[in-house]
């Protein structure tokens, strides 16, 4: 074989790989909807095995009795975990250390002034995090997180700052002129699957409550004022959903009618609630930590590191592929009175989630 033939051969091979889609061949196709509707998931077994291996839950620390003196009777400054037995309290401190700061140990949150002092910002953040985790499990359990549930490990995976966080993105510096401003586009961005879709769909949709829907529900363009630009922002967010869960669009939509709820699988409703849960976490919990965060933990616009779908999911359709970690840590399953007091999340869930599946075109 001469050189040019060899190059041709490699070219054909690459073209075939390209045609098979973005997954490493051989791929498997799993049908998830009616035959002929294209409701399929394309899975590469090799990549899938690697992802499963990277998403294993750690072993639980052996349980301890919930009886005996309470933490609030023994310790001085326990605002959210006071009702735990002293044994449960110490077990949870050990677990938190393993999940969040295994290398740094207890001193990541506790400083020179002793365990009761709030001298380290990390301890104050951790208190908010405990309240946020409890709320994710109690209030959002039925609509999103149960039965798998959420622990600190779901996001942190043994690191003080979770791997997947975001801050407001001011975009690249552009030379001068008005015409050069890309309105958030034409910069390949990891957040939207390396497409050149708008690179920060998070600020409007996962912190703000901008409208994600833009399809009209009449045959003629009467009344629907949504622009192509808005559509591209929605598309950017949808790329993030697919990447975060490691799924195709058809995991949540019937592609013949993206907007229609009747033809969408139940996973889309889960996602709808997920959006509202993430907004609440970013505004009412993480938003509250900004007062005591050091500058190194803020973005260029001075906002805190926030979470999105991938912060928990990390490429899996259920975080840790559904490993039920929470059952071993029932103290994180319900909100304590102190947790409810700590944060400003005052709206009832009903008002946050009103109008779930209305509209959406036929």
The residue from 10, 94, 301, 337 that contacts ligand HEC (CB under 6 A) is 94
Instruction: Select the residue interacting with ligand HEC from 57, 247, 325, 345 (CB under 6 A).
Output: 247
From 40-48, 59-67, 194-202, 304-312, span contacting ligand HEC (CB under 6 A):
304-312
The answer to whether residue 335 forms part of the interface with ligand HEC (CB under 6 A) is no
Scanning residues 96 to 115, which ones bind ligand HEC (CB under 6 A)?
A: 96-97, 100-101, 106, 108-110, 115
Alpha-carbon gap, residue 197 to 9, rounded angstroms: 34
Out of 44, 57, 70, 126, the only residue in the binding site for ligand HEC (CB under 6 A) is: 126
CB atoms within 10 A of CB 217: 13
Q: How far is the CB of 109 from ligand HEC (least distance, A)?
A: 3
Site membership for ligand HEC, residue 344 (CB under 6 A)? no
Is the Cβ of residue 149 or residue 184 nearer to ligand HEC in the bound state? 149
- Residue pair 279/111 in contact (Cβ under 8 Å)? The answer is no
| Piece of the chain touching ligand HEC by CB under 6 A; list 37-45, 139-147, 173-181, 345-353 | 139-147
The least CB distance from residue 348 to ligand HEC, in Å, is 19
CA distance linking residue 39 with residue 32, whole number of Å:
5
- Cα torsion through 329, 335, 338, 343, rounded to 10: 120
The residues, ordered by sequence, that sit 6+ positions from 346 with a Cβ below 8 Å of its Cβ are none
Interface with ligand HEC in residues 177-216 (CB under 6 A): 212-215
Q: Where in 14-43 is the site for ligand HEC (CB under 6 A)? A: none
Q: Least separation, in Å, of the C-beta of 11 and ligand HEC?
A: 29
Site size for ligand HEC, by CB under 6 A?
Answer: 86
CA distances, 301 to each of 41, 168, 192, 331 (Å): 39, 6, 20, 36
166/200 Cα distance (integer angstroms): 9
Is residue 172 within 8 Å of residue 187, measured between CB atoms?
A: yes
**In angstroms, what is the minimal distance from the CB of 163 to ligand HEC?**
10
Could you tell me the two tokens for 12?
């054909």
Token pair in block for residue 11: 């070219």
Q: How far is the CB of 316 from ligand HEC (least distance, A)?
A: 9
């Amino acid at each position: 074989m001469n050189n040019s033939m060899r190059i041709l051969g490699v070219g054909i091979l690459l073209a075939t790989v390209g045609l098979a889609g973005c997954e490493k061949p051989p791929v498997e196709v799993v049908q998830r909807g009616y035959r002929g509707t294209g409701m399929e998931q394309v899975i590469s077994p090799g990549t899938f095995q690697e992802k499963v291996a990277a998403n294993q839950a750690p072993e639980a620390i052996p349980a301890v009795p919930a009886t005996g003196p309470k933490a609030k009777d023994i310790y001085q400054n326990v605002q959210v975990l006071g009702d735990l037995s002293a044994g449960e309290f110490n077990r949870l401190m050990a677990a938190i250390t393993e999940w969040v700061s295994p290398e740094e140990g207890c001193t990541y949150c506790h400083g020179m002034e002793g365990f009761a002092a709030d001298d380290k910002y990390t301890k104050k953040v951790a208190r908010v995090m405990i309240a946020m985790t409890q709320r994710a499990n109690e209030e959002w359990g039925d609509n999103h997180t149960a039965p798998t549930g959420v622990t600190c490990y779901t996001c942190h995976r043994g690191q003080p700052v979770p791997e997947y966080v975001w801050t407001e993105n001011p975009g690249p510096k552009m030379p001068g002129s008005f015409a050069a401003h890309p309105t958030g586009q034409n910069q390949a961005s990891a957040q939207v699957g390396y497409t050149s879709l708008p690179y920060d769909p998070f600020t409007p949709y996962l912190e703000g409550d901008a409208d994600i829907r833009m399809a009209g529900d009449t045959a003629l363009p009467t009344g629907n004022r949504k622009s192509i630009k808005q559509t591209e922002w929605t598309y950017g967010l949808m790329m993030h959903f697919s990447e975060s869960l490691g799924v195709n669009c058809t995991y949540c939509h019937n592609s013949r009618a993206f907007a229609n709820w009747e033809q969408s699988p139940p996973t889309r409703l889960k996602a709808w609630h997920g959006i509202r849960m993430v907004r609440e976490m970013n505004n009412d919990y993480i938003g509250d930590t900004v007062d005591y965060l050091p500058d190194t933990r803020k973005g260029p616009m001075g906002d805190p590191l926030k979470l999105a779908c991938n912060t928990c999911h990390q490429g899996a359709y259920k975080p840790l592929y559904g490993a039920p970690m929470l059952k071993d840590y029932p103290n994180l399953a319900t909100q304590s009175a102190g947790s409810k007091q700590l944060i400003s999340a005052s709206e009832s869930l009903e008002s946050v989630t009103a109008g779930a599946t209305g509209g959406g075109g036929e």
